[in-house]
Copies of this chain bind each other. A is one copy, B any other.
Amino acid sequence: MTKEKSPFSLNIPEIKSLLKINYEVADLSSAYAVLHWDQETYMPKGAIHGRAEQLATLAGTVHKIATSKKVGRLIESLSKKEEAGDLNLCDRALLREWRRSYEREVKVPKRLVEAMSRATSVGTAVWQRARQESKFSIFKDVLQKIFDLKIKEAEHVGFAENRYNLFLDDHEPGLTTEFLDKIFAELRDIVIDISRKAHSANYHIDQDILRKKLDEKELWDFTIAVLTAMGFDFDRGRQDKVAGHPFTTGFHHDDVRITTRFREQFFTSGIFTAIHEGGHAIHHQGGDAALSRTAIHQMHSLGLAESQSRFWENYIGRSAAFWRHWYPRLMQSFPGAGFEAAHEDDFVRAVNKIEPNLIRVDSDEVTYNLHIIIRYEIERDLFANRLKIGNLPEAWNAKIKDYLGLDVPSDAKGVLQDVHWSHGSFGYFPTYSLGNLYAAQINRKIRSAFPDFDERIAKGEMIFVRDWLRDNIHKHGGVYGVDELIKKVTGEPLNPKHFRDYLQDKFGKIYHF
């Protein structure tokens, strides 16, 4: 497929060679992703240790190929061609991604990569058990091991002064604590300002309407209907149930999978999870087929990725316009559930109530960001040796009290709620709030492109949203960096002001402030 109209300079032998290696690495990484997806969805529980070995071997094999001397020589030679101005836009982006990962990975021994893969795939299973039994003590040792491996990794790769920046950069190229300290101070002000206004408005929102026990099969069908309307392509993807943390994974341009769970305090959480993951999946499905199996089919920016899921979840899924169309469908799907007794506006208010919640994924879109800031500060302190793994529960509980005013009743509802650390994903959480900020900026832009945006959403139309996102963002994959793309799309760099304006507008209407 890519042969016909390749966006790369196939007449340059080094580009051809690098692509060939990229396809190999992409295929083996896809195999890794399939095995991980299977582990979370269908794998029998006794298989965990065998699976950990399989994943470790795949990780080691990918690492060996991606850090081979041949790759080093290709990058060197292509860098010269880049200087000479001989590379096109896609060649340069490909080279940029390969150079970054090569320079980082070549310093990490294969043995360490395999050990990390092994520790994290077992770690995920241990975390699940620890959360079920609500005992951090069960998870502590394996988390310590994973953390120690991250420290060892940082030593191999090297870091200027701050190890944590290395892992921030892994998830969002160029991201640093210096930048986050500044942007999160602004974000905190915004969150606190909006929360105070909502609190002062003293306007009661009842959430009983969300506390229904609905038939899971019907709920499932409802999510399928929403995903279909969003434009998720079920011929090139699917949705499965997951016991652990919901996620989206793309094995290939034509195989993108969503996982969803229906187990939180509100029945709507499964619906919003599906919309959120659907946003990720549409992003992945919207890549350029000609960039498939290369490092620039998707952008290397979890912040941008999260902007897509959050845009669909919050800016569309929690909007009044969305439920104008879907609330009647909810009534149809659950005839005896009593939805007729409430007004659609009450339902919209209920899914937007600002109220501190112990659980990040159950939080409203305002106080949610405090969860991110808490995790950011904890991770920053861990890597600065100001906090020990063994003291995580106390540190967690103190910060939840401090920022959200809540007492943490158990490890399950506290430090054990999120899967990320069991994956070795430190430096991941901050990208969630970056996603909120990017989403606000994109939201402003798409609404100016469609003055009748809400009217169309209220009629159940959503394909136009998918298509706009595809044309303006998705299809570019990783050709541009995130800063460049955001500027290209919205006309300015990341600016938290738009998030403030959006929250003020939305919650001002809901809370009358």
Contacts and interface: CB of A to CB of B under 8 A. Distances in A.
Interface string A20-46: 000110011011101100100011111
A35 to B, nearest CB: 6
Interface in A29-88: 30-32, 34-35, 38, 42-47, 49-51, 53-54, 56-58, 61
B42 A255 contact: no
A44 B293 contact: no
Contacts of A58: 27-28, 31
Contacts of A24: 57, 61
A27 B53 contact: yes
Contacts of A46: 233, 235-236, 254-255
A237 interface: yes
Contacts of A61: 24, 28, 61
B236 A42 contact: no
A252 interface: yes
Nearest to A38: B34
- Copies of chain A in the complex: 2
Nearest to A252: B50
A103 interface: no
A251 interface: yes
Interface string A236-250: 111010000000000
Contact of A292 (B28, B30, B35, B50): B50
A472 to B, nearest CB: 24
A253 B38 contact: no
Interface of A: 1, 23-24, 27-28, 30-32, 34-35, 38, 42-47, 49-51, 53-54, 56-58, 61, 233-238, 240, 251-255, 292-293
Given A31-B58, A49-B254, 13 more contacts: A24-B57, A24-B61, A27-B57, A31-B54, A44-B236, A44-B255, A45-B235, A47-B251, A47-B252, A47-B255, A51-B251, A51-B255, A53-B293
